[in-house]
Structure formats: C-alpha cells, structure tokens
Structure 1
Amino acid sequence: MTVLIVKNCAREGPGTLGEILRSNSIEQEIVEIERAEEIPDPTGYEALIVMGGPASANDTTKAMKQEIAAIQQVARADMPYLGICLGMQALVKACGGRVIRNPIKEVGWKDLHGKEFSLELTPAGQKDTIFKGLEATLPIFHLHGETVELTHDMQLLATGKHCRNQVVKAGNNAYGFQGHLELTASMLDTWLAEDDDLKQLSSEEVKRDHAAVREEYESNSKKVFTNFLRTAGIL
C-alpha cells in the first residue's frame, strides 16, 4: 500500500506520521510541490496527505491550483484524506468553504497571555473514530495566521479559543487539522531557525514548552494518525 504525501514546504514533512507509516510498512510517495514537482493522479493511492507551509490556499499559483484540484478529485472519489495546517485550509477551500484571516496569529504553544493552545473536542469529535482513545482536551502546537469558514455539510470536530475551527471533516473520509500534530523535536529545531514567526519567540522557551508535553504530544499524534489509517482501511 502507498499513500501520497504533498509537501508545500521543504521543512514541513510528515514527522510522527511518517514514523507511523514506516513502522507499519506503508509506502509513502512524497511530492515536493515547492520544487515544482507535479502531483500524480491521487486516485492511484490509498490516501492523499497534504502538509503545511507558509502559502495560502487562496493563492492563485500553479502549485496551489494543482493542489486544490487534486483534493477535489479525492473528495469526489470519497477517498481518505488528511490535511495539516495549510492542508486543512486547502481541503475546506477545495470543498466549497472559505479561507480567511484569523483575528490573531497562533504561533507556538501559548497565546500572548501565556495560556497553552488546546483542542476541545466537540460532541461530534468525541464520537469520531479519529479521536478514539484520546482525551476531550488536547495540547496543540500552532503556526498559522488564517482560518476557515465551513460549509453546512462539513463537521467541526474540535475547537480552539482564538481560532474556532480547529479540526474539520468533509464527507466520510477527509480530515483537516489546523495544528501541527506531526511535530517532532528535530522539526521544531528547524522551524525555530527558519520560520519568521517563530523567530519572534524565545527558542529556549518554546523548546521547554515542547519538552514538558513531548511524551503526551507524540503519543496523541501517533494515536490520531493510527486511527486515521485504520478508518481509511489502510491498517
């Protein structure tokens, strides 16, 4: 079995999701859309996974048009889809929703008042198999300035204080997460060195915050990604 992974940015790879795929001997084909690589027909794979990046789903670049078209193809086929950050926003855009500016940028582990970012599962989220075995409140790492407006037939699975639409579901098999569940320690080091928004924060503090929740965070992410693969019929 092979899943297709689209990377919008070189530094934003599959992280813990990649670890789950490798440990279950699931092949992954990665397309570097930032390097002008073409997205193959996604219906030839078991699932389409789209990662984050600094672009906007509202962009009219060739790369974003190609990405939106691939997601629409997957949605029409009711195929398994998982979108992270930009990948979530692109899902909503592809399925008829809107991508707009969020009232604030959510960056790192905490808001401007020092309160930890978290996901609060909705009743629909607590019933959905993607959150099986998880608590109703989960810590989340953020790196975004936009949010989404859902269509009436999309489900909201988790909310946040400063950005309401945190986890969404479109159709039967397409999921989008605004936050970065895939985050690993090595990825965080790279992002702190390269991302302009994260450079505004204290890297030592961000690393301390990560260390405090790392075990729980990686356990949660691996449960979510395993649940997704099982729901998709890949495991």
Structure 2
Amino acid sequence: MTGARVLVVEHEDGTGPAQVGERLAAQGLVIDLCRPWAGDTLPNTLDGHDGFLVLGGSMGPYDEERAPWLPAVGGLLREAVARDMPTLGICLGMELLTVACGGEVRHAARPEVGLCELTPLQEAAKDRLFGPFVDADTWLSAVQWHWEETGTLPEGAVALLTSERCAHQAYRIGTSVWGVQFHPEVLAGDIGTWGSSDVGPLQALGLDPAGVVAEVAREETALRELWGAFAEQWGAIVTEDRSTVEAPPSA
C-alpha cells in the first residue's frame, strides 16, 4: 500500500511547503503539489486524498481578482471540514479557512513579521496536534509574515494559540482541521526572497529585511526541531486517520 496522499496548494512562487513538505515526504506520505498560480488545475474534490495542506502567499483571502482560484480552495476547505479530513491551513491558508467557514478576516492593526512568541490556550494541551508541544518547558516561537488576521473565528472553532499582537494564532475545527497564522514551514533561507519583495512594507513597520532574516537564522536549529516535529505529528495524524478509515471491520 502506498503512503497516505496529501493535496498541497501553493499560491505563489517562493511559498512552497519547505520543511513541512520535506518531513511529510520522509514519513512516506505522497505529496500532490498543485500550483494554480503556474497554471495547474485544482481538483474538484478531495477524493483520492487523505490530507489537505494549504500554504501562504502575499495575497489576501478576498483577493480573487489577483488569485481567481481562491474560491475553489475555499470550497475544498469546506469539503475538508465536512469530512473532518486532516487539514492544515498556513497563514493565507488559515485566512481562507476562516472565510470559507463563515468567520471574518481583517487587516491587522499591528502586523507581525519575523520571530514571534506564541502563547498556548487551555485547549491546546488536549489537542492531538499541538498537545505534545505545549508543556511548560517547550519553547514556542515561530516565523510570522502577515498583514491580515482572523478577527472572528468560524462557528464552533476551538482557539488553541494566541500572541501579543494577534488573538488567533491557531484554531481547530472538528477533530482534524487546523489553521495557523504563523509559518511552521519556513526557515531563514525560505524568507530571504520575501524580505526582498516586501522592502517597502517592512520599512513602514520600522523593520530591516536583512535584520528579520538574521533574527530567524539565529534560531534556525530550534525552529527546525520544533516545527519539524510538528509537521511529523500532522503527518502521523494523516496516516493514522487513513488507516482508521481503511481498516476492515472486525469479525
């Protein structure tokens, strides 16, 4: 039997699955990378997939003129919620999940860029994705790069993480659909081009692009260890849920 199959949606050049994709592939999961920005056609359904990963991008969740495939991604996210299929929406992916499920995304009053501390909420310790990483001794910090944020959670969503500037850093819908505002997939090398393309907006925030990348580079080892393990935990959930679905009924 081949490994569990994950549909991955990439919205823009330079915003691939990075270390999350590497960890999933190392676990034997099959990655179906769809790049609608490059002309790939999104599937009409999640049939044939066991997990769904929606990545980030510089557009916002309402920028349908710039990225006309966004409504179709929203439809797939609603399908994932209906199926309770293991799903992870990252940054724009979380914002699309929020909008698709009836929540509200707004412009952030205080955008987050660079390395930021995360604070677990009470439900995080019981969550099967975040639970292993939220004990008192775990360092929780991640790369942020967003000017939009979830203002109102979808109905029934369970808040899991917060931060000083952004109330909703992670949430769960059902048992298996997660959105995260931060970027568990990237390291310093991945965000180098982001800094180059966002010089003006970063300077408007009083940030130096090279300084942001250097800050992330200083914590590279810890980021790789923490969020690499997080990716593996999500991959294990995809595989576990697929095995549960595929297991024959007991005699």
What TM-score comes out, normalization by structure 2 length?
A: 0.84
1:66 to partner: Cα distance: 1.0
| Equivalent position of 2:126 in the other structure | 127
For residues 88-107 of structure 1, what are the structure 2 equivalents within 5 Å?
A: 88-107=94-113
Instruction: Give the 5 Å matches for 1:1-235.
Output: 1-40=4-43, 41-61=45-65, 62-109=68-115, 117-135=116-134, 138-148=140-150, 149-196=152-199, 200=203, 201-232=207-238, 233=240
For 1:27 and 1:197, how far apart are their aligned partners in 2? 38
Name the aligned partner's letter for residue 107 of structure 2: R
**8 Å Cα contact 1:43-1:77 kept in structure 2:** no
Contact 1:92 1:99 in 2 (8 A): yes
Query: How far is 1:123 from its partner?
Result: 0.9
Using the TM superposition, give the Cα deviation of residue 72 of structure 1 relative to its aligned residue in structure 2, in angstroms. Answer: 1.0
**Matched-pair contact (CA < 8 Å) for 1:123–1:157:** yes
Q: Distance in 2 between matches of 1:90 and 1:171?
A: 17
Q: Which runs of 5+ in 2 are unaligned?
A: 244-251
1:131-166: CA deviation from partner (whole Å, max 9, x where unpaired): 243245511211111111113410000001111100
Give me the whole-angstrom Cα distance separating, in 2, the residues matched to 1:199 and 1:96: 31
Match of 2:120, as an amino acid? L
Shift of 1:39: 1.1
Instruction: Give CA-to-partner distance per residue, 1:77-103, whole Å, 9 cap, x none.
Output: 111110100001111111111111111
TM-score (norm 1): 0.89
Aligned pair count reads 228
8 Å CA contact retained: 1:4, 1:28? yes
**TM-superposed deviation, 1:11:** 0.9
How far the C-alpha of 1:229 sits from its partner, in A, is: 1.8
Residues 22 and 197 (structure 1), Cα distance of their counterparts in 2 relative to 1, 3 Å cut: farther
Give the residue type in structure 2 aligned to 1:75: V
Q: Which has the larger radius of gyration?
A: 2
User: How many angstroms apart in 2 are the aligned matches of 1:19 and 1:132?
Assistant: 22
Distance 1:14 1:195 in 2: 20
C-alpha separation in 2, matches of 1:11 and 1:60: 20
Judge conservation of contact 1:106–1:145 (CA < 8 Å) in 2: yes
> Offset at 1:231?
2.4
Q: 1:120 and 1:199 mapped to 2: Cα distance?
A: 24
1:222 & 1:197 partners in 2: Cα distance? 31
Between the aligned partners of 1:88 and 1:175, the Cα distance in structure 2 is 8
Let me know the Cα RMSD of the aligned residues. 1.9
* Matched residue SS, 2:106: strand
- Three-state SS of the structure 2 residue aligned to 1:89 is helix
